[in-house]
Chain A
C-alpha cells in the first residue's frame, strides 16, 4: 500500500479495523476523541459493533463482555478516562481475556489539560487496578509505529490472553505523518476452548474473575505470573540509535524518545559520542539491553514527560552501575530538543556520580532555571 498522510488517532483506529476489530466501545475525551469519531462511522459501515458508552466505566465493561466471546475488541481513552477504566481492566485481566486499550495520554494529575504527556506510565506499567497482573504496554513514537503496534497489540493480546495497551500521547495522536496501513484481515472469532458464545452441542462455560477458594485464586495468579515470564522472554522490543560507539546514552520512550533523537543527532554533529535507547515495549521493559548499555557507557540521561516514572525502573535495573541524570517536562509541556541537548552537554562535561538522586538534582536545576 502507498504511503498516506495520516493523523495518529485515525491511523490507530483504521489499523485496529484492519487487524480484525469486531466491536469497539468508547467515550469522548480529548485528545483521543478522533478514534471514537472515526470508528462511529467506520464500524457500522462494515457491519461491526460500535457503542458510544455512557462513561469509561461502561465502555471498559462492554469490552469485558465482548472479550468473553473471543472477539477482537478494544476501547480507547485518555489519562483520566483510563483511571476510570482500571476496575474493568483488573476484571478482564483476572478473567484472563484478550483485550486492547489505546491510551492517548494528556497532562495531569486530576483533570489536568489536553496537552501531551506521559503521566500514565505508572498507571499502565505498575498500576492498572488491583491485583497481581500486568498489561503489555507498547509505546509508539510515530504514526507508522502507532499503526504497527496497534496490530501487534491485538496479536499479543490474543496470543497471551492478556490486555495489551497502546500507550501513546496527545502529540502522536494529533500529528500527521506519511504512513502505510496494513492489508485488511478477515474478522474471525478466536478458536478457543474458553470463549462464551452459547453452549451449542457442548458443556456450558462460564467466565469470571472470581475464585472463592483461595488456593484456586493462587493458581490463577501463578498462571498469570508464568505467562508474564513468557511474555518477558519473547516480546521485548526496543530501538537503538548510535549506541555502537557511544560514551553516553539517552533513554526515552514515545514522544520523549523521538525528541531526544533530535538532540542526540545535534550532539553527534558536535562530536559528542552519544546514543539513544528507545524502549518500544515499556512493559515488558527492555531490561537486558538497558543493562548492557549501562555497562558500556560513562553516563546515562533519562528523558520523560513525567516526573521520572520510568526513571525509577532504569535506576532499579541498572543498579548503580552507571551514573544517571534525569530531565523532564511535566503537565503537558513537551520538551524541545535544545533542552535535551543542554542536558547531554552537562552529561558529557561531567563530573558524573552514582551518588545521590538524579530526580533531586533535576528538580534543583529546574527550580533554579525557572
Chain B
C-alpha cells in the first residue's frame, strides 16, 4: 500500500517541517518513506511544498502527479492541488488562509481554521501540526496519530522541546475535525 501526500503553503508556514514529522512517524512505524521538497533559488518567501510518500515496499517515484492527500495552507496551494487530487483522496484546507471552499465532490474535504486554532493554543507556528493532525484523523491508514505523536516526541529539535505539549495538543485538536 502506498500513500502520497503533498503539504503546501507559504514559506514560513512549516510545511517542510510537517512533512518531516510525518516521515519520522512512518519510518518509526517501520514503513518506507520519502520526503522531497520543491526547492527554488530563493532563500525566503515564495511557496514551499514537499511530497511525502509512505509505502510498505521500496518506493519508486518520490513525486506524485495525483496524490492521495494534500494539506493546503493557503489559497495558491488550494488552487494548485485541488484539481490534482486522486478521486477519493483527502484534501485538508486551512480556512484561515483561503476565501473559497473546494468545489470537487469526489474527494473527502476537511475544513479547519488552522491559524485560529493554533493562535488559541499558543501561536500561529502550530498551524502546521493542527493541519497534520487533521490529515491523520481522516486518513488513519498511512500512519496513526499515535505514530505521529511518538515521532514528534522523539524528533522535535532539542531547542523546541518546551513546545512539545503544545504540538501534541495541536495534533489532537486537528484530528478532532472530521471531513464534511
Give a binary string over B64-77; 1 marks a CB under 8 Å from any A CB, 0 the rest.
11100000000000
Whether a CB of chain B sits under 8 angstroms from the CB of A258 is yes
Whether a CB of chain B sits under 8 angstroms from the CB of A109 is no
B34–A175 touching, CB < 8 Å: yes
Q: Which of A188-196, A259-267, A313-321, A348-356 lies at the interface? A: A259-267
A171–B36 touching, CB < 8 Å: yes
Whether a CB of chain B sits under 8 angstroms from the CB of A176 is yes
Whether a CB of chain B sits under 8 angstroms from the CB of A3 is yes
Using A3-B27, A5-B23, A5-B27 as known contacts, say yes or no to A177 and B61 having CB atoms under 8 A apart.
no
Whether a CB of chain B sits under 8 angstroms from the CB of A31 is yes
A176–B34 touching, CB < 8 Å: yes
B66 to chain A: closest residue by CB: A338
Give a binary string over B149-161; 1 marks a CB under 8 Å from any A CB, 0 the rest.
0000001000000
Tell me the interface secondary structure of chain A in the complex: helix
Q: How far is the CB of B99 from chain A (nearest CB, A)?
A: 30
Neighbour of A178 across the interface among B27, B64, B66, CB < 8 A: B27
Whether a CB of chain B sits under 8 angstroms from the CB of A221 is no
A30–B41 touching, CB < 8 Å: yes
Whether a CB of chain B sits under 8 angstroms from the CB of A174 is yes
Q: Which residues of A sit under 8 angstroms from B59, Cβ to Cβ?
A: 177, 258
Interface of chain A residues 176 through 227 with chain B (CB within 8 A): 176-178
Q: How far is the CB of B157 from chain A (nearest CB, A)?
A: 13
A177–B60 touching, CB < 8 Å: no
Q: Which residues of A sit under 8 angstroms from B88, Cβ to Cβ?
A: none
Complex Cα spacing A324 to B6, Å: 35
B35–A338 touching, CB < 8 Å: no
B50 to chain A: closest residue by CB: A176
Whether a CB of chain A sits under 8 angstroms from the CB of B122 is no
Count residues on chain B whose CB falls below 8 Å from chain A CBs: 22
Complex Cα spacing A135 to B62, Å: 29
Whether a CB of chain B sits under 8 angstroms from the CB of A127 is no
Q: How far is the CB of B52 from chain A (nearest CB, A)?
A: 9
Q: Which residues of A sit under 8 angstroms from B64, Cβ to Cβ?
A: 336
B60–A31 touching, CB < 8 Å: no
Complex Cα spacing A157 to B145, Å: 47
Whether a CB of chain B sits under 8 angstroms from the CB of A53 is no
Whether a CB of chain B sits under 8 angstroms from the CB of A49 is no
A178–B32 touching, CB < 8 Å: yes
Whether a CB of chain B sits under 8 angstroms from the CB of A337 is yes
Q: Which residues of B sit under 8 angstroms from A258, Cβ to Cβ?
A: 59-62
Interface of chain B residues 34 through 72 with chain A (CB within 8 A): 34-37, 39, 41, 58-66
Whether a CB of chain A sits under 8 angstroms from the CB of B175 is no
Q: Which residues of A sit under 8 angstroms from B41, Cβ to Cβ?
A: 30, 114
Using A114-B39, A174-B36 as known contacts, say yes or no to A261 and B23 having CB atoms under 8 A apart.
no
Whether a CB of chain B sits under 8 angstroms from the CB of A334 is yes
Q: Which residues of B sit under 8 angstroms from A336, Cβ to Cβ?
A: 61, 63-65
Complex Cα spacing A334 to B38, Å: 11
Q: Which residues of A sit under 8 angstroms from B20, Cβ to Cβ?
A: 5, 176
Q: Which residues of A sit under 8 angstroms from B118, Cβ to Cβ?
A: none
Complex Cα spacing A101 to B32, Å: 29
Whether a CB of chain A sits under 8 angstroms from the CB of B81 is no
Q: Which residues of B sit under 8 angstroms from A171, Cβ to Cβ?
A: 36, 62-63
Whether a CB of chain A sits under 8 angstroms from the CB of B33 is yes
A177–B33 touching, CB < 8 Å: yes
A338 to chain B: closest residue by CB: B65
B37–A174 touching, CB < 8 Å: yes
Q: How far is the CB of A239 from chain B (nearest CB, A)?
A: 10
B60–A175 touching, CB < 8 Å: no
Q: How far is the CB of B115 from chain A (nearest CB, A)?
A: 27
Complex Cα spacing A177 to B61, Å: 13
B32–A262 touching, CB < 8 Å: no
A334 to chain B: closest residue by CB: B63
Neighbour of A260 across the interface among B32, B60, B62, B66, CB < 8 A: B60
- Name 25 A/B residue pairs within 8 A (Cβ), A-sorted: A3-B27, A5-B23, A5-B24, A5-B155, A114-B41, A174-B36, A174-B37, A174-B39, A175-B36, A176-B34, A176-B35, A177-B33, A177-B59, A178-B27, A178-B33, A258-B60, A258-B62, A259-B60, A261-B58, A264-B60, A334-B63, A336-B61, A337-B60, A338-B65, A338-B66
Q: How far is the CB of A266 from chain B (nearest CB, A)?
A: 9
Interface of chain A residues 14 through 72 with chain B (CB within 8 A): 30-31
B19 to chain A: closest residue by CB: A176
Q: Which residues of B sit under 8 angstroms from A263, Cβ to Cβ?
A: 60
Q: Which residues of B sit under 8 angstroms from A178, Cβ to Cβ?
A: 27, 32-33
Q: How far is the CB of B167 from chain A (nearest CB, A)?
A: 18
A177–B63 touching, CB < 8 Å: no
Complex Cα spacing A264 to B60, Å: 9
A176–B23 touching, CB < 8 Å: yes
B65–A265 touching, CB < 8 Å: no
Give a binary string over A272-283; 1 marks a CB under 8 Å from any B CB, 0 the rest.
000000000000
